[in-house]
Structures are given as C-alpha cells and as structure tokens.
Structure 1
Amino acid sequence: MTIAYPLAWPAGWPRKTDAQRADARFNRKARQTVNYTGGGSMSYTSNKALTVSDGVRRVLDELARLGARPGFTVISTDVVLRLDGLPRSGQREPADPGAAVYWQDRTGAPRVMAIDRYRAVADNLAAIAATLEALRAIERHGGAQILDRAFSGFTALPAPAAARSWRDVIGVGPGERDLVAVRAAYRRRAAAAHPDRPGGSHDDMAALTAAMRQAEQELS
C-alpha cells in the first residue's frame, strides 16, 4: 500500500536540494470577460498560476490516456488530502514540494514517477503530467515497443530495507495479526520517520511504506 500523505518518495530515486530547485513556467489559461456599464463587453485570455488541483487533473488525464488501470493510482505529496484521497488546493506550500505518482499500467505492472525539480507541488505535478504526455507521443507515432522499454525505467522499486521483516520495520510483534493495530503502529513510526522531522529521512519513510504494503498483502 503506497500512502498519499505524507509524501512517499520512491526508493532509489535521487532528490533535489532546495538550492537546486527552480521556479517553473507552467500555467493555465483563464478566459475573463469585462462588461461595460454602457453596454457591450470584452473578453480576453490571461495566464494564471497552477493550483494543486490543476496539477492533479493533468496527471490523471494523462494516465487515463495511457490506459492506466482505474483505481490503482496514488498521487503522493506533503499536501493534506481531500475526502477523495487526492491532494487539496489552497494550502500553504509544504517544506518538501516533491510529488510521486504510483499507478498500474494496462497490464497491471506497477509504475512510479517522481519529480521535485520545482519549488511548488503544483508545478512538480504538472511536470509529471508533461513527461507522461511526451512519453505517450512515442505510442502515438507507432513506437509501442519503445514506450514499453521507456516505462521499464519507471517500475516501482522496493525500499532499500525490504529484506527486513515488515514486522521489524513497523515495530510489531511476531504474533500480531490485527491489521488495525499494525496500521496504528505504522502511523506512529511514520510520524517520526518523516523527512521533515528531526532524525527522519526519505529512506526511512520509503522502508516503512514498503513494509506496510507487505503487511497489507499478508494480513488482508
């Protein structure tokens, strides 16, 4: 089980430092109309900054065009979630603007793509969508086999500590079979392991995420 919040950065993917991040040029078109008091009106188009919801919509649209399996997509960020489990707009920009998208392709193969090049979550989501669109262009031009090879680099990898027992990683005893109790222990460990907390790290968070995924598979 991949978590949507907080950010579950994929194991083995390099991170950008704050100094390496840049402002993006992604935006959206907004059409506005001015009505004059004496009658008549004028319409014009302007560029607006992207919202997190804009970025989410772009990612989901591109995945749908790629044939991703419905119900198996997780958009993971440090943005608090809406009731439907997707990142919510209108919040303060988190300290970590990275975004990771996990999905299953049309064959059921797990895929992941993560970007933290830009200073805003919305822009990193838009960058993922733009990358998906570029890769999809390969398929449109008859390169389905090339596309498969390209996506082989975006396979969701296990965490570096996957060789450890998931019980050791999460911190539950060998006889614990209650999934509710395991999830509670996972949340406690995740709160301490988050990269924004003292002593936390992306590797620790990735290991916890992989361990919880294994626990779900064994206990469900």
Structure 2
Amino acid sequence: MDAQAFPLTWPDTMPRTPNKVASKFKTELSAALKNVRSSLGLFSGDSGKKVDNLVISSNVTLGVERPADPGVAVWFVWDGMQVCIAVDRYAKVEDNLQAIHHIVEARRTEMRHGGLHIVRATFRGFTALPAPKRRSWREIFKVDGTLPTTAAGLESRYRSLAKERHPDSPGGSHDAMTELNQAKSEALKEIGA
C-alpha cells in the first residue's frame, strides 16, 4: 500500500465527484475521525478479522481544516484484502469522514444479517486495485519519438488505426477505440494542435 495520510491518496479506480453537495451531518472533524476509528474497531470485532495498516488520507494539515479538495480515503487491510473506502461527495472533510463511518456501519449491518461472505463480497468492490498501466499515445500510434509529429500526420494515422479498432471491424472493440480516441486527444494536446 502506498497510501499516505497527507496529501490525499485517492484510489485510481474510483472516480472523483465534480459537484460537491451539502450534508445534514453535524459532526465536527475530531468526532468524525473518532467515529471512523471506532466503527472500524467494532467491525473488526464483529468479523473476527483484524483491521491492519489503517491510513486515513486527506488534505487536512495543521492549520488547514478546509482544504480545496475535501476528499477522504480510508485505506486498510482486512481479511487479506487491501481495502479503500473513499468519499468526496461533500464539501467538508468532516462530512466525508462521517459518510465513511456510515459505510463501515453498513458493513456491520451486513455482517449481522448476511454473514461474513456477504461482507467479503461487498468489500471486493472496495478492493484497492492498482491502476491499469496505460500505454503512451506514441506507443498506440506506433510513432518513433525521434520523428517530428504533425496534426495532419496524426489524423492520417488515426484514421488508419480507427479502421482496425472500431467495434464494427473484425478484431475491433469499444475499449480499443476508446484507447485510440484518448491517445489522439493526448497527442494533439502534447504537440499543441
């Protein structure tokens, strides 16, 4: 686990929330932090499995309780799984922490009513997987880094590759076409076109 308490370590597999909303929580930062730690301790006791390597990651530092990015990611190891519960829905750090507390409490409810196998299945959704390795646009376009690249040359190569990668083409797929489109955007941005 490469998570750190500061600055915020957000899992690559979880999207960010662009528009924050106000919450109805009335919990102060210190109380929300205590709630998260307490609910994880109770969850550990309920499940009979230790919660290890706990890291509560945010952009809060001494003197800065209202960072521009209020997201919180709680990283830990449970039952052999690297887990991350990350919330950035709310405009305040303490509200995102309190939401994580409620998420853990929901797992405790699952434990009481469904058992350990239900919680394991749920936590697989929170499993902190490494980000997939992305290929560079040069690799996708098969461009030698020593040759100058022009917008016209990229467009020509794009059209040729799109014929092969399009989902309607034999051997093509939606994922292959998406990768090509992202590579084209990155290429045009890099060369300033």
Q: What is the TM-score normalised by the length of structure 2?
A: 0.62
* Higher RCO structure (Cα 8 Å, ≥6 apart): 1
Equivalent of 1:59 in 18, 36, 41: 36
Q: Which residue of structure 2 aligns with residue 154 of structure 1?
A: 126
After superposition, what is the alpha-carbon deviation per residue over 1:142-163, rounded to whole angstroms, capped at 9, x for unaligned? Answer: 4321111111101111134499
Q: CA deviation at 1:71?
A: 4.8
Cα distance in 2 for residues equivalent to 1:133 and 1:10: 21
Tell whether 2:93 aligns with 1:121.
Answer: yes
Aligned length: 131
Q: Percent identity?
A: 40
Cα distance in 1 for residues equivalent to 2:40 and 2:134: 28
Cα distance in 1 for residues equivalent to 2:76 and 2:17: 23
Q: CA deviation at 1:5?
A: 0.2
- The answer to whether the Cα contact below 8 Å between 1:11 and 1:159 also exists between their aligned partners in 2 is yes
Tell whether 2:70 aligns with 1:69.
Answer: no
Question: Counterpart amino acid of 2:6?
Answer: Y
- Structure 1: gaps of 5 or more residues: 28-49, 82-89, 164-220
After superposition, what is the alpha-carbon deviation per residue over 1:172-193, rounded to whole angstroms, capped at 9, x for unaligned? Answer: xxxxxxxxxxxxxxxxxxxxxx
Q: Which residue of structure 1 aligns with residue 74 of structure 2?
A: 101
Cα distance in 1 for residues equivalent to 2:134 and 2:53: 22
Cα distance in 1 for residues equivalent to 2:91 and 2:71: 8
Q: CA deviation at 1:2?
A: 1.3
- The answer to whether the Cα contact below 8 Å between 1:78 and 1:94 also exists between their aligned partners in 2 is yes
Q: Which residue of structure 2 aligns with residue 22 of structure 1?
A: 21
Cα distance in 2 for residues equivalent to 1:91 and 1:110: 29
- The answer to whether the Cα contact below 8 Å between 2:5 and 2:56 also exists between their aligned partners in 1 is yes
Q: Which protein has the bigger helix share?
A: 2
- Structure 2: gaps of 5 or more residues: 136-193
